[in-house]
Structure 1
C-alpha cells in the first residue's frame, strides 16, 4: 500500500462521483469504496508481489469487459474507482506495474508517502469527500439499511483496521483522525444493516370491524 487507506477511499469516491455525473448514472457507495482499495488485498496473499498483477490497470479493464458489456455506462464509476487506486494514489507515492502482464516495468513518481505533501493531499481529498457526502446526502444514504452495506467488511478487515494497527505500514499521527472517521462510518453502516436484519417487524393492528347497525 503506497497511499494510505483514507486517500484511496477519498479518491475512489470522488472519481466515481465525477464519472457518475458525466455518465449520468448512479452507483452503490459501499461497492465503490470497496473497489477503491481492493488491489491492496495482494498484501494478504502469499507469493503475490505487492503493486504487481492486482494493481495492473490493464488487467482491471480486461476483467471489467463483460461487466461493461452487460451494464454499459452504469459500470463506469466502478471501473474508475478501481483503477484510480493504481494510476493516482500508488503512481504518485510509489511504483506500480500498470501494464502487467505485458510488462513488469513499474511506473510512478516515488513521492515519499510520509511526506507533508502527501499527508496534505490525503487530508484535502478526505475533506472534499466528506463535504460531498454531506452535501449530496450520500452519507445519509450510506447509513440507511442496504443489503450491500456489508461489503464494507472487506475494506474494514483487510485495509482499514490493519492500517490502524501498523500493518502493512503505520498510519502517521496526522492521519489517524480521518482513518477513525472512516472506520466509524463503515461500522455504523454495517451495524445499520445488522440491526435491520434482526429487528422485529412491527405488527400491524387489524382494523376493527365497524358495528353493523341493527335494522328496525
Structure 2
C-alpha cells in the first residue's frame, strides 16, 4: 500500500478510537507512525540491501518498542500503537504481502496472498481505488473535524512530518522505489501524495520559521543593549 492509504486508514482508525477512549490525538505523530515501517525503503536505497517489509514491519518489534509507552501513558497510547501496526496488519498484509510479521523469531513471510488468496499488487486497480476512497474519506473527516488546522500552527511536534516527507512522499512521487514517477503510473494517487506533501511542508516550514524568530532573532535582540553600552564606554558613536 502507498503512503496515502497507510496514513488515511491510520487517521480514520485513530480518530474513531480517540472518541471511544475520550483522548486527544496528536495528528502529526499518528500519521508518522502509520508510515514509519517504510523507513526501510530509504535504508535499502543507501545500503543496496533488500530489507523492505522485514524487521521494521514486525509486530513483535512494534510491541517491544511500545511496552514502555503503554506502562507510562496506558490507554492514551493505544491509537498510536494501532496506527503503527495497521501499516503491516491492514495495509501491507492485504496489499503485496511478504511481511516478516514475527521477526526476529521467524523470517516466514505473511500476507493475504501467502494464505492462498488472490494477489493484489500495489499498482493493482483494486488497491488504487481503495486508497483513493480512504484518502477522500479521511480528507473529509480531517476538514469537518477541524484537524486540518493543526498543520497551520507553529508546533514543535509538526517537525516529525519531515519523516514522511523524506522517506515516502517525496521519493514515491519522484518514482523511487518504483520504475517511474507516480504522475505517470497512477496520476490520481500522485495528486493525493502531493496533497499530503504540500500540507506537511507547510506545517514544517511554518514551525521552522516560528522557531527561527523565537530563538535566533531573540538572541540578536539580547546582544544589542550590550553593544550599545560598550559603545558608550569607549566613546564611540
Normalising by structure 1, we get a TM-score of: 0.87
| Selected match of 1:108 from 108, 111, 122 | 111
Q: How far apart are the structure 1 equivalents of 2:152 and 2:27?
A: 11
Q: How far apart are the structure 2 equivalents of 1:187 and 1:115?
A: 29
Aligned position for 1:92: 94
Query: Map of 1:35-184 to 2, 5 A cutoff?
Result: 35-45=33-43, 46=47, 47=49, 49-95=51-97, 96-109=99-112, 110-169=119-178, 170-171=181-182, 172-184=186-198
Give the superposition deviation at 1:176.
1.1
Count of matched residue pairs = 199
Give the superposition deviation at 1:44.
2.0
Q: How far apart are the structure 2 equivalents of 1:154 and 1:48?
A: 20
Asked whether the equivalents of residues 156 and 186 of structure 1 are also in contact (C-alpha less than 8 Å), the reply is yes
Give the superposition deviation at 1:69.
0.3
Give the superposition deviation at 1:102.
2.2
What is the DSSP-based 3-state SS (H/G/I as helix, E as strand, rest coil) of the residue aligned with 1:190? helix
Asked whether the equivalents of residues 19 and 80 of structure 1 are also in contact (C-alpha less than 8 Å), the reply is no
Give the superposition deviation at 1:198.
3.4
What is the DSSP-based 3-state SS (H/G/I as helix, E as strand, rest coil) of the residue aligned with 1:108? coil
Q: How far apart are the structure 2 equivalents of 1:32 and 1:196?
A: 23
Give the superposition deviation at 1:48.
5.7
Q: What is the alpha-carbon root mean square deviation over aligned residues?
A: 1.5
Q: Give the direction of change, closer, same or farther, for the CA distance of 1:48–1:176 in structure 2 (3 Å limit).
A: closer
Q: How far apart are the structure 1 equivalents of 2:198 and 2:21?
A: 31
Aligned position for 2:209: 195
What is the DSSP-based 3-state SS (H/G/I as helix, E as strand, rest coil) of the residue aligned with 1:36? helix
Greater relative contact order structure (CA < 8 Å, 6+ sep): 1
Q: Unpaired segments of 5 or more residues in structure 1? A: 202-216
Q: How far apart are the structure 2 equivalents of 1:71 and 1:55?
A: 23
Give the superposition deviation at 1:140.
1.0
Asked whether the equivalents of residues 93 and 112 of structure 1 are also in contact (C-alpha less than 8 Å), the reply is yes
- Which stretches of structure 1, 4 residues or longer, exceed 4 Å deviation after superposition? none
Higher helix share: 2
Asked whether the equivalents of residues 29 and 142 of structure 1 are also in contact (C-alpha less than 8 Å), the reply is no
Give the superposition deviation at 1:65.
0.5
